[in-house]
């Protein structure tokens, strides 16, 4: 069975085609600049050369058609016909309180995703375009949706409610939802397998640290708290996002700097974080290079980023009354030796014994970076959200047969 995974944005679309029999990736790629005459299609068929094509792609239906054309192309393709695609899985950012797990797409599901546009105005409308585009090109293929929020729906009320008038929750569903759930779930399962222990018995803190970053407290395989909130702005300091701050700063800064709602939102989402403090970049690689070259602002940005992450790990140890393992994943978590080292060397009070040599070795694979016998294990596990989406889609599609 072959599953096509789609992550549709407003002007871009990423795809991966999985063969579920041997869990291999048959092809992957992306379409960028949808809506323009010079849209770019990048197609990477397994075992064949990469293809770049510039053409007019004005909307998502054409983008999907071009992707399907590539997948069945006599030279650049990996399938003989689109009928070999058994199901399509979509990443959907916001499932609100309605979706606690992945589901097959039907009219009710589409209506509900649309109802949630308010909570994810930049993401959910684009996902709907992706779903409609697949429907237009392959009307009979089953489609599933996999939500970034679903894994965190197990949070208890004290973790997901904000201490503000309950009318905001009742009327407008203002609460913590959390994001990166597919990744937190995936690395939790892999961590249990790596440790050879049942997930149900583990207390994990999973740290998904990429451009966007979040931590989760995973107790017995269920998310019981996470650092992102109603939107992906809360929590850790990120590349361009502030993360936690005193909410009173918002009206104060708006008044002093004469900012509109749109401007303050843009400041906190796009012009804060590592970028704002370092004045150099939102990219952790460039920050680390600048730190090593002695740049004081980069060092301050790094120290704030690390400090805020370490505080969350400490908080989640309190949330779960202990930790068995800390898991690092995503771009920064998987690759920044310096970040992992700085965090872990200051967690000795929890019982972390950090292994510097292991921290430098074994890039790209699941690995342990704590010393044998460390009370709290520290793991690095490369995330694979696309595979999780394929797996859920496969399971749901099989039920339809």
- How many whole angstroms separate alpha carbon 355 and alpha carbon 370? 5
- How many whole angstroms separate alpha carbon 322 and alpha carbon 182? 24
Shorter beta-carbon distance to ligand ADP: residue 230 or 339: 339
Q: Is 385 known as a binding-site position?
A: yes
- How many whole angstroms separate alpha carbon 395 and alpha carbon 254? 49
DSSP secondary structure of 221-257: TEEEEES--SSTTSSS--SS---S--TTHHHHHHHHH
Residue whose entry in the numeric block shows the structure tokens 């908080």: 315
Applying the rule CB under 6 A, the residues between 361 and 390 that interact with ligand ADP are: none
Q: Percent helix, strand and coil across the chain, each rounded to 5?
A: 45, 20, 35
Q: Does 212 bind ligand ADP (CB under 6 A)?
A: yes
Buried b (16+ CB within 10 A) or exposed e, 107-128: eebbeebeebeebbeebbebbb
- Binding residue for ligand ADP, selected from 71, 276, 288, 290, defined by CB under 6 A: 288
Q: Is 130 known as a binding-site position?
A: no
Kindly state the smallest distance separating residue 281's Cβ from ligand ADP, in Å.
8
Structure tokens at 61: 């239906």
Kindly state the smallest distance separating residue 116's Cβ from ligand ADP, in Å.
21
Q: Is 212 known as a binding-site position?
A: yes
Q: Output the residue with the shortest Cβ distance to ligand ADP.
A: 331
Q: Does 210 bind ligand ADP (CB under 6 A)?
A: yes
Shorter beta-carbon distance to ligand ADP: residue 86 or 385: 385
Q: Is 19 known as a binding-site position?
A: no
Q: Is 334 known as a binding-site position?
A: yes
- How many whole angstroms separate alpha carbon 46 and alpha carbon 260? 48
Stretch that binds ligand ADP, among 16-24, 38-46, 166-174, 284-292 (CB under 6 A): 284-292
Evaluate the CA torsion angle 230, 232, 233, 238 in order and state its sign. positive
Applying the rule CB under 6 A, the residues between 327 and 366 that interact with ligand ADP are: 330-332, 335-336
Q: Is 310 known as a binding-site position?
A: no
- Binding residue for ligand ADP, selected from 283, 289, 324, 353, defined by CB under 6 A: 283
Q: Which of 148, 244, 258, 303 is catalytic?
A: 148
C-beta of residue 202 within 8 angstroms of C-beta of residue 221 = yes
Kindly state the smallest distance separating residue 298's Cβ from ligand ADP, in Å.
12
Q: Does 268 bind ligand ADP (CB under 6 A)?
A: no
Binding string, residues 214-243; x marks residues near ligand ADP by CB under 6 A: -------------------------x----
- How many whole angstroms separate alpha carbon 264 and alpha carbon 301? 21
- Residue 148 among the catalytic residues: yes
Q: Is 72 known as a binding-site position?
A: no
C-beta of residue 93 within 8 angstroms of C-beta of residue 120 = yes
C-beta of residue 151 within 8 angstroms of C-beta of residue 182 = yes
Q: Which residues contact 281 (CB under 8 A, 6 or more apart)?
A: 274, 275, 287, 290
Stretch that binds ligand ADP, among 83-91, 104-112, 124-132, 279-287 (CB under 6 A): 279-287
Binding string, residues 82-111; x marks residues near ligand ADP by CB under 6 A: ------------------------------
CA–chain centroid gap for 154, Å, is: 18
Give the binding-site size for ligand ADP (rule: CB under 6 A). Answer: 13
Q: Does 53 bind ligand ADP (CB under 6 A)?
A: no
Kindly state the smallest distance separating residue 341's Cβ from ligand ADP, in Å.
12
Torsion of CA 340, 346, 350, 352, to 10 degrees: 50
Q: Does 289 bind ligand ADP (CB under 6 A)?
A: no
- How many whole angstroms separate alpha carbon 381 and alpha carbon 188? 9
Shorter beta-carbon distance to ligand ADP: residue 172 or 360: 360
Q: Does 291 bind ligand ADP (CB under 6 A)?
A: no
Identify which of 83, 23, 140, 9 has the alpha carbon closest to the alpha carbon of residue 394.
23
Catalytic residues: 148
Q: Give the residue numbers of the binding site.
A: 7, 14, 91, 208-212, 283-285, 331-335, 385
Residues of the shown chain interacting with ligand ADP in the complex, contacts defined by CB under 6 A: 210-212, 239, 283-285, 288, 330-332, 335-336
């Amino acid at each position: 069975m072959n599953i096509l995974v789609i992550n549709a944005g407003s002007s871009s679309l990423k795809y991966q085609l999985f063969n579920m029999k041997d869990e291999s990736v048959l092809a992957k790629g992306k379409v960028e600049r949808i809506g323009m005459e010079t849209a770019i299609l990048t197609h990477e068929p397994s075992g064949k050369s990469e293809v770049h094509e510039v053409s007019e792609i004005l909307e998502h239906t054409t983008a999907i058609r071009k992707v399907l054309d590539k997948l069945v192309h006599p030279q650049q393709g990996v399938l003989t016909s689109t009928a070999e695609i058994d199901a399509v899985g979509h990443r959907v950012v916001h499932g609100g309180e309605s979706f606690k797990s992945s589901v097959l797409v039907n009219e009710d599901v589409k209506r509900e995703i649309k109802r949630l546009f308010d909570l994810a105005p930049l993401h959910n409308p684009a996902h709907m375009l992706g779903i409609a585009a697949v429907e237009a090109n392959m009307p009979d293929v089953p489609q599933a949706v996999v939500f970034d929020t679903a894994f965190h729906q197990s949070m208890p009320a004290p973790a997901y409610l904000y201490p503000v008038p309950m009318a905001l929750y009742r009327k407008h569903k203002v609460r913590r939802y959390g994001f990166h759930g597919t990744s937190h779930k995936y690395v939790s399962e892999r961590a249990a397998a790596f440790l050879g222990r049942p997930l149900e018995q583990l207390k994990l803190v999973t740290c998904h640290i990429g451009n966007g970053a979040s931590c989760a407290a995973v107790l017995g395989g269920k998310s019981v708290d996470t650092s992102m909130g109603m939107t992906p702005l809360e929590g850790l300091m990120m590349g361009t996002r502030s993360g936690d701050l005193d909410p009173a700063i918002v009206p104060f800064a708006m008044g002093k700097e004469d900012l509109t709602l749109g401007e303050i939102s843009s400041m906190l989402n796009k012009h804060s974080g590592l970028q704002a403090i370092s004045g150099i970049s939102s990219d952790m690689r460039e920050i680390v290079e600048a730190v090593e070259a002695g740049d004081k602002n980069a060092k301050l940005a790094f120290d704030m980023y690390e400090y805020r992450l370490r505080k969350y790990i400490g908080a989640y140890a309190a949330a779960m009354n202990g930790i068995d393992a800390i898991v690092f994943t995503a771009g920064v978590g998987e690759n920044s030796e310096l970040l992992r080292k700085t965090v872990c060397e200051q967690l000795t009070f929890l019982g972390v014994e950090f292994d510097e040599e292991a921290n430098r070795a074994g890039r790209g694979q699941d690995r342990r970076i704590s010393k044998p016998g460390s009370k709290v294990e520290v793991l690095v596990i490369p995330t694979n959200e696309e595979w999780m989406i394929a797996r859920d889609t496969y399971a749901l599609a099989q039920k339809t047969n």
